[in-house]
Structures are given as structure tokens and as C-alpha cells.
Structure 1
Amino acid sequence: MPVPSIRSILGLEAILFAAASLVHAGILYQGYEHSRAATAEGVIAAVLILGLLACIVAPRRTRLIALAVQGFALLGTLVGAFTIAVGIGPQTTADKTFHIILLVVLVVGLVVIFRSPRSEQGAS
């Protein structure tokens, strides 16, 4: 099975966070509105998009940039999961499930990027 490129991983994650933000804003789907979650997910999506653009502009730093923005996204997602766990954040089954999916995607992405050969960074 081919390993996804670093840029495609960041793109997928950015899409996931943007979608989550739009759902929590009530734009993509009604009934899951939560303004703080929408803001946090929007910020994470923006950071991932900026990281993706930085990877395009500075291909030799792709691995470092990707690890940094994914680390930020993982930290933000862990904060969101913690708020759900303590009862502050959204409490729906969909929110809990989506956070688990996000955590898995981010951890797998970090592992793939960390293991990526440095010689392939610019080609990712």
C-alpha cells in the first residue's frame, strides 16, 4: 500500500477540521452548533492550511513544518477531547466519535511524517 504524501495528509486534516468547524457553526449541518468548538477547529484548520502552503513554498522544510502544524493540531484536539471528557465541550455521540477519529488521523499522520525519509520531503 503506498504511503500518502505529507501534503496530502495535511490537506486531509485541514478538510476534516474545516468541516468540523462549519458543522459547529451550523453551516454544513444544523443541530451541532457550538461556537467555541467552531472557533477552535477553524483555527486548527487555518494552521494546517498555512502549514500546507509553507510546505509548497519551502519544500526542503516540509517534514519540519508538517510535524509542527500537526503537533499544534494534536494539542488542540486533545484540549477539545478533555473539554468533552469533563463536560464543558459538546457532549453528542457524534462529537465524541469525531474527536476519536481526529486523534487517530493526527497520530497516524504524525507517525507517517516522522518516519518519512528526509530525501523525499521536497517531493511530498
Structure 2
Amino acid sequence: MYDRTQHLLFLLVETALFVAASLVHAGILVSGFEHARAMVAEGVIGAVLAVGVLACLIRPGHAAVVALSVQFFALLGTLVGAFTISVGVGPQTRGDIAFHALLLLVLPAGIFAAWKAWRQRRAG
């Protein structure tokens, strides 16, 4: 039987992480870590993930494909962010480095969960 719970949970957690990071870079949750470009990038990724959550709830038959799509988008954005950190363009705090490392663990796990759900759904 197809179970969308696990990949929806990943999407919710990932959405919360990106929204929180955007609010930190906006200076809303914590001051001293403001970075306009990171705020926008993380906000856009968080919004895409949030739309993905809504799409999964509205169209459960397409949830796994939607989850795969939005998480691949988030992973691509995270890789760009990690690259900018590595070349000295993006924020250079330990928190930013740890956050990107966390995302590089969580996003592939979420993609794997969505892929498993997609395979279950296809199998019937």
C-alpha cells in the first residue's frame, strides 16, 4: 500500500528549515547574520517546498513525483549555496556551513523517501 506520510514529513521539515534560515538571514529570528542574497534564495526554496506540500495534499496521486521535484530543486539550490560558501561569496559563518551540511544529509534522505513512495505507487 502507498504511504505518503514519510515524504510529506520530510517536506514539512525541509520547508521549516529553509523558512527559518531565510528569517535568520533577514534578521528576524536572530540578528547579526543578515545576508540579503541568502535570505532570498532560502525564501524561494522554502516557498517552492511549501507549494510542494500543498500540492501533495491536494493531489495525493501525484505526491511522490511532486516531492521528488521540489526536493531536487532544493538540493540544487543547496549545492549552489554550498559552492558560494566554498568560494567565499556566500555567508561564511559556522552556522551557515553546518546548515548546508545538514541539508546535504536531509534532502537526499527526503528524495530517497519520495523515490520509495513513487516506486510503491507505481507497483500498485
| TM-score, L = length of structure 1 | 0.90
Q: Distance in 2 between matches of 1:100 and 1:12?
A: 15
Partner of 1:73: 74
Cα distance per residue 1:20-73 (max 9 Å; x no partner) = 000000000011110000000000000000000001111000000000000000
Instruction: Give me the CA root mean square deviation.
Output: 1.6
Larger relative CO (CA 8 A, sep 6+): 1 or 2? Answer: 2
Report the Cα offset of residue 4 of structure 1.
Answer: 5.5
Report the equivalent of 2:22: 21
Q: Distance in 1 between matches of 2:57 and 2:111?
A: 18
Q: What is the aligned partner in structure 2 of residue 34 from structure 1?
A: 35
Greater than 6 Å deviation, 4+ residue runs: none
In the aligned structure 2, how far is the partner of 1:97 from the partner of 1:74?
A: 15
> More displaced, 67-76 or 5-14?
5-14
5+ residue gaps, structure 2, are none
Identical-pair percentage:
55
For this pair of structures, how many residues does the alignment match?
118
Q: In 1, Cα distance between the equivalents of 2:49 and 2:84?
A: 22
In structure 1, stretches of 5+ residues that fail to align are: 120-124
